[in-house]
Structure 1
Amino acid sequence: MAERLEAWLEGPRQCVLVLDGDARMAGWIAAERRLSLEVGERVEITALVVDGTARRGGVGRALVGAIEAWAREQGVDRMVVRSNVQRQASHPFYEGLGFARQKSQHVYRKRLSP
């Protein structure tokens, strides 16, 4: 994880923010600027983690708001977040922040041999 975080922070198109709580991390968010041929430039939230004891206390909202500000600083006017269909509690959260559901999809993964 430390190596991935270090590589992530070196790039100007990525952003990781941490919100401290009382003697522990309340939450963190990662986002990156992505260019798609289909829709152009956007900022995509790639991870949002809020400590269980801090949920429903505004931590997630504050972290997403900070990424929205970062996106504006980058000159990007579109944000995307993906949420697994099994994470039912996250769907109303994102919709409450103004995100609109666009589609459902399957994700396929393949591990490549060296």
Structure 2
Amino acid sequence: MLKKLLKILIIIIFCLLIFSKFNFAFAFAPKIVNKLNSSFNDIEKWCIKLATPAAAVSLAIGLFIKKFSFGDEERIRISKKIIRATLISYALLLAIDLVLAAIKSLVS
């Protein structure tokens, strides 16, 4: 009876030592979460770097078409569509920062 109680006590002490020794492993963010966060930051930077000049060129084209339409109603309508689509697209691209921040907050 005493040997059985001693074995149980040794097993309990051994388990307590194991679980108390390795609890620091969960005190930091996992590697995949860090990779996801850095990937989201890279995606955001690339989108803004690529979209800003593209939006500027598209806006300039729309303004030039409007300027040199010489009263042609169809060209004025096309230029207004180009300008409106450019501004909406660029606004959505700038809002991608908010979307990625929301995803990051859900992941981490």
Please tell me the TM-score bracket, short chain as reference: under 0.3
**Under a length normalisation based on structure 1, what TM-score does the superposition of the two structures give?**
0.26
- Bigger fraction of residues in helix: 2
Q: Which structure has the larger Rg over C-alpha atoms?
A: 2
- Bigger fraction of residues in strand: 1
Higher relative contact order structure (alpha carbons within 8 Å, sequence separation ≥ 6): 2
